[in-house]
Chain A
Amino acid sequence: AAGVIQSPRHLIKEKRETATLKCYPIPRHDTVYWYQQGPGQDPQFLISFYEKMQSDKGSIPDRFSAQQFSDYHSELNMSSLELGDSALYFCASSLQGPGGAFGELFFGEGSRLTVL
């Protein structure tokens, strides 16, 4: 079965550079989420999209932005990168939101960002 696809899997950047992460949700899933997970930490919710519109916002820095496109894929753009942005970035998708009738939320393999 198709899963959530993320790219790139690994990314190394210098401080103050920019980075873009991509996410392709499971087909027919209408909600996409972005999470950040630092070393030894639990995942922290950044932002979500439902039917291409921003649905909810968490602890996403102002330096980050995201959008969902007409084909439902999503991109997370990160600018002025800082050392503390080094983390695993997970995209997840679900049908009808995490509290909806089909509540299962499936995560992609993640993109590991290292900022030097």
Chain B
Amino acid sequence: GQNIDQPTEMTATEGAIVQINCTYQTSGFNGLFWYQQHAGEAPTFLSYNVLDGLEEKGRFSSFLSRSKGYSYLLLKELQMKDSASYLCAASMRYTDKLIFGTGTRLQVFP
């Protein structure tokens, strides 16, 4: 079957670093998306990993290990505006469908 797991909630302090993990079990796995979503708003694209390794984009980095079915999103120098849900989603070969995790709600405190 298709399954994606990520923690439900996380908290962190402004200026800190937080790592949000995501494990997946999907057949025909192709790549892994990370999206940020504020309540009632559209998911905003953060990253897309196809190959193993770390990809860095400013304060955000995303890592993928295909052999372990594992990804993480690393957020550095946290800001209050980073408080949001972070969704990981798997894309698969031969389908347009993305399988989403239920999202990790991150709360950043001063």
Contacts and interface: CB of A to CB of B under 8 A. Distances in A.
Interface of A: 31, 33, 41-45, 48, 50, 55-56, 58, 88, 90, 97-99, 103-110, 112
A51 B103 CA distance: 31
Contact of A45 (B44, B45, B96, B102): B96
Given A97-B96, A99-B31, A99-B91, A104 B103 contact: no
Contacts of B54: none
Given A42-B101, A99-B31, A99-B91, A48 B43 contact: no
Given A48-B97, A103-B31, A104-B48, 14 more contacts: A33-B96, A42-B101, A43-B98, A43-B100, A45-B97, A56-B96, A90-B42, A98-B31, A99-B93, A103-B91, A105-B98, A106-B45, A107-B44, A110-B41
24 contacts: A33-B96, A41-B102, A42-B101, A42-B102, A43-B43, A45-B96, A56-B95, A56-B97, A88-B40, A90-B43, A97-B96, A98-B30, A98-B96, A99-B91, A103-B91, A104-B48, A107-B35, A107-B42, A107-B43, A107-B44, A108-B42, A109-B41, A109-B42, A110-B42
